[in-house]
Amino acid sequence: MLFVACAVFGLTVGNLITLPAIVIQREFDAASFGLLVGLSTAIGQFTCVVGPGLLGVLRDLTGGYGASLALCIALELAAAAVIYLKPTDLR
């Protein structure tokens, strides 16, 4: 099972590594590609570093993981709504 889990993760890690650059290349001008990929990576890394700590602080303040889980669910739903409600062609 561990090998299968590692294989599944390995097959999907491309979404984390290559997908943001492909989306940026498609949606923005070539002149701003480097800046936007760097900004995207910086925001992603900052979120990965700060997010777990903030969830831990929320857990400490509330005494359980319920509020942290609810916050994560709310953020996922908000992100899905932003993607779903965004017009497909802004040009």
Q: What's the confidence (pLDDT) of residue 88?
A: 60
- What does the DSSP assignment read for 26-80? HHS-GGGHHHHHHHHHHHHHHHHHHHHHHHHHHHHHHTSSHHHHHHHHHHHHHHH
Quick: pLDDT tens for 52-71: 999 999 999 999 999 999 99
DSSP 8-state class, residue 8: H
**If we measure between CA atoms, which residue out of 50, 24, 26, 22 comes closest to residue 36?**
24
pLDDT recorded at residue 34? 93
- Judged against a pLDDT cut of 60, whether residue 16 lies above it is answered with yes
Give me the chain's average pLDDT, please. Answer: 88
For residue 89, pLDDT beyond 70: no
**Of 75 and 91, more confident:** 75
